[in-house]
Amino acid sequence: MADIPTLEPAAEVQLADDDETPKKKRSWLLLSAIIASVLLAGGGGAAWYFMGAAKPDGKAKAAAPTGPALYVLLDPPFVTNFEADQAVRFLQITVQVMSHDPATVEIVKANDPVIRNDLLLLFGNQKYTDLASRDGKERLRAQALEAVRRVVATNGGKPERVDAIYFTSFVMQ
């Protein structure tokens, strides 16, 4: 009879090893992709949390002030004198306080005499040469804002809720 071909076992083992190698590579690649996805998602979530999108108690971070701007006119205008180059000069300023918070507006109104006192002292200590420039006026406005915020803080309010101080009239003579 004729010889019948048979398969050799070594050849089968070699074929089986060749099939397992791509499966190991695919499973390692899949595992790496899953780990990378989990790390990226965790990093994104941590960045979102620490950048302030959510507070620890779960409440969203407070947004910019909402509602209309509320203005308080400090009337009558401030009039003070100061010395400049051996001459007496006069300064008249009309001031308005802006806030978006009605409670802060009420604190400003209730403490008008204290605010007026502090601002008069501030305005009276200025030099003519400083106030002659725009930068000098802006510095004075920033100092006036801090003075009003101190009064609001002293009286139980939140000083950061005093948004701005505006000089609606500024006359030097």
Structure tokens at 11: 């050849």
User: Mean pLDDT lowest for which of 38-42, 95-99, 131-135, 162-166?
Assistant: 38-42
| Average pLDDT of the segment spanning 92-115 | 95
Which amino acid is present at 111? N
The residues spanned by each domain of the chain are 7-61, 70-172
Right CATH for 70-172 from 2.30.30, 3.40.50, 3.30.479, 3.90.105: 3.30.479
Interval 105-152: pLDDT, tens: 999 999 999 999 999 999 988 888 888 899 999 999 999 999 999 999
Please report how many Cα atoms fall inside a 13 Å half-sphere around the Cα of residue 47, on the Cβ side: 6
Please report how many Cα atoms fall inside a 13 Å half-sphere around the Cα of residue 68, on the Cβ side: 2
Residue 58 confidence (pLDDT) = 45
Which amino acid is present at 18? D
| Average pLDDT of the segment spanning 31-55 | 73
**Nearest partner of 111 among 79, 147, 140, 138, judged by Cα:** 147
- On average, the pLDDT of the chain sits at 82
CA distance 98 to 162: 6
Burial class (CB in 10 A: 0-12, 13-18, 19+), 18: exposed
CA distance 60 to 15: 60
